[in-house]
Structure 1
Amino acid sequence: MALREYERRILAEIEQRLGEDDPALAGHLATFGADDPSFARAAGGGWRPWAVCAMIAMAAAGLLALLFFTAPSTPAPEPASPRQVPETAVEPGPG
């Protein structure tokens, strides 16, 4: 997360005051996590979160494809039968 210039100045000022007030604590905090390899890896981010996201996306795409190809298809509609027209009695006309 990027800090604004104002926030950076405030943090630098706090760091300077801490160094003046308690140099031992300031030195200890400056070397905090220097001997822990997992701390250095976590700060850089790395490729692992992206790899996990890519694996999840591929699994979701695979499941969707599987669902698409294995889902039963809708039956074809039956052809319409010819309508039966009721026979009407035709009355003979005069003549």
Structure 2
Amino acid sequence: MALRENERRILAEIEHRLSADDPELAGHLTSFGEDDPTFAAERGAGGGWRPWLVCGAIALVMAGLLVVLFLATPDGAPEPAATQPPPAPVTLSP
């Protein structure tokens, strides 16, 4: 998530004040999560490959459901009625 310039300035000011007030705590917070391999991937631009994997899986499921619905629904054209042979002509005998 991108921050606005004003928010970046405020965060930099907070970080500067924290470093000045408690350098030990600031050092702990800067090194927080460096041992975790997933932390480095989450900090990278774009967030890594996991969000793309989830979006791809959702897209595949949706495409599969659309294919199933397309195959399960009738064409929409009315079926022709069963044809019956025309009735035999009636002849009257005198």
Q: Which residue of 1 aligns with 2:90?
A: none
Count of matched residue pairs: 79
| Mapped pair 1:67 → 2:69 | yes
Shift of 1:76: 1.6
Secondary structure of 2:63's counterpart equals helix
- Give the unaligned 5+ runs of structure 1: 80-95
CA deviation string 1:60-92 (max 9, x = no partner) = 11122122113345542439xxxxxxxxxxxxx
Q: Which residue of 1 aligns with 2:13?
A: 13
For 2:3, the aligned partner's letter is: L
Q: How does 1:53-64 map to 2 (within 5 A)?
A: 53-64=55-66
Shift of 1:30: 0.9
For 1:24, the aligned partner's letter is: E
Q: Which residue of 2 aligns with 1:36?
A: 36
Larger Rg: 1
- Give the unaligned 5+ runs of structure 2: 83-94
| Mapped pair 1:2 → 2:5 | no
TM-score, length-scaled by structure 2: 0.69
- Give the whole-Å Cα distance in 2 for the aligned partners of 1:63 and 1:5: 44
TM-score, length-scaled by structure 1: 0.69
